[in-house]
Amino acid sequence: MLWIFVFGILASLLFVFVISYKNRPSQGPNRFGETASPVDFPTAVVRFFTGYFDFKSRASRTEFWYAMLFYVLLLFVLGLLNLPDIAVSIVLLITMVPFFSVTARRLHDTNRSGWFQLVSWFMPVGTIVALFWFNEPPRD
């Protein structure tokens, strides 16, 4: 039974790498645009929502981590408010696309395809690898 699980993970990773290789942008410096500049917390939250469908540009480390801090605080507040499940589900659906968008932009700043965020879904090894990628300085 364990071998089926391992095979599923390996097949999924192979699929991610094939997709990212096939859809990769042109090589060389600035293939995802200019390097992103650091921002403060309010600006990161505004960019989190205004860059809703922006999967092509870059996000700096501070923009990404402040957006993740906002997301965790939002989830914490939702848990404290004890809202109905449908309300929490709607909020999570609304914030799901910007979450994936800012993650893809952060990976672009490290000169990786946004598809590599799928690696973070494989606990715990993929999450640890993705955390290292998210914390890298920008690369061209």
Question: How many whole angstroms separate alpha carbon 14 and alpha carbon 108?
Answer: 20
Host domain of residue 110: 39-140
20 domain residue, yes or no: no
Instruction: Inform me whether the pLDDT recorded for 28 exceeds 60.
Output: no
23 assigned to some structural domain: no
* 89 occurs within a structural domain: yes
pLDDT score recorded for residue 73: 93
Q: How far apart are CA 67 and CA 8, in angstroms?
A: 31
Lookup: tokens for 16 = 């991610």
Give the pLDDT of residue 23: 56
pLDDT band at 25 (very low <50, low <70, confident <90, very high): low
State in Å, rounded, how far the first CA of the chain is from the last one: 43
* Domain total of the chain: 1
pTM comes to 0.74
**8 A C-beta contact, residue 74 and residue 91:** yes
